[in-house]
Amino acid sequence: MEMETKRPVYNSFAMIQLETKQTLPLTLGEDGTIRITNSRVTLDVIIHAYLRGEAPEEIHEGFPTLKLRDIYGAIYYYLENKDRVDEYLHVQERQAEEIRRFIESQMPIDEWRARMRAIRDQQRIKNATSPNNATPPECSPEACATPLRQNTI
């Protein structure tokens, strides 16, 4: 995405014309999601962090693989195209909600939680009865409860 402006810049020594063409660090994917170029980080994530009050430097701490200038570029794009980006964010939120509802319709969250708890409980039972996880005799509950034991040779 590019934005271009040219304007003369004057100083006391000479008149120079600066090229002020900027390439924005944003890429539109086939699925319609806007991402920071060369990353998986979406524009949504950056803008939501910015709207929560995080400074670009704070956002960068959470995404150190991004270039700080790319974070600033995404925020710049948002500020220059606020209405369009707000609509984009709204559409993204609606799509995310639809996907969440679809996933929950395939397996309700309560059922999923029950399955995960059952798997966890089975793993705990398996680990507790495994010979590899048995308490070694030198560290029986009684021996390990003794604060300082003198080892005898």
Q: What are the angstrom distances between the C-alpha of 110 and each of 2, 44, 101, 106?
A: 47, 29, 14, 12
53's tokens: 């009050």
Q: Where do the domains of the chain lie, and which CATH numbers do they carry?
A: 2-129 (1.10.10.10)
* pLDDT (tens digit per residue) in 49-97: 999 999 999 999 999 999 999 999 999 999 999 999 999 999 999 999 9
Provide the pLDDT confidence category of residue 17 given band limits of 50, 70 and 90: confident
- Cβ atoms of 49 and 59 within 8 Å: the answer is yes
* pLDDT (tens digit per residue) in 113-146: 898 999 999 999 888 887 665 555 555 455 444 4
Query: Closest Cα partner for 74 from 89, 93, 90?
Result: 89
- Residue 32's identity, in one-letter code, is G
